[in-house]
Amino acid sequence: MKYSRQRAAILSFLQSRRDHPTAELVYSSVKEEFPNISLGTVYRNLNQLAEARIITKHSFGMLGTDHFDYNTDPHYHFVCSCCNAVIDLPASPDDFLSIEAEAAKGFDGLIQGHSLYFCGICKNCLN
């Protein structure tokens, strides 16, 4: 992937976050440094970074918009049904393998991965 200052700024912004921002949030932040950047350019760069597996693109059905994650290590997510926060949940590689092995029992196809997120109310909203 060819280097661009805008793409580097997008990646730097994601690297500094743990809250899985949307493209709109990335855009509003990067626009401070690059006032002429368009939302389309941000979307294009985020999708290119996700296709290159430099970041991860998540589509949480209940939220209706894509969220982007700098952390590409296997982990699960929790989505708060009150504030829509997306929070990382710790998981080991063994957790992923055991879920896939359990799902494969009695299934004649080949499972090559899975996507799973948990829903509920986060600690902040409970308070």
Is-contact 21 14, C-beta < 8 A?
Answer: yes
Q: For 125, phi and psi rounded to 5 degrees?
A: -70, -30
Residue 116: band (very low, low, confident or very high) from pLDDT cuts 50, 70, 90: confident
| 73-127: CATH number | 3.30.1490.190
Question: In the predicted model, is pLDDT for residue 34 greater than 90?
Answer: yes
On the question of pLDDT at 33 being above 90, the answer is yes
φ/ψ (deg, to 5) at 87: -125, 135
Q: What percent of the chain has pLDDT over 90?
A: 73
In the chain, where the domains are located? 1-72, 73-127
In this predicted structure, the answer to whether residue 61 has a pLDDT above a threshold of 80 is no
Output the DSSP codes for 88-126. Answer: EE---HHHHHHHHHHHHTT--S-------EEEE--HHHH
Tell me the CATH number of domain 1-72, given options 1.10.10.10, 1.20.950.20, 1.10.10.60, 3.40.50.2000. 1.10.10.10
What is the mean predicted confidence (pLDDT) over 56-76? 89
Q: Which of 31-40, 54-63, 91-100 has the largest mean confidence?
A: 31-40
Q: What is the CA radius of gyration of the chain?
A: 17
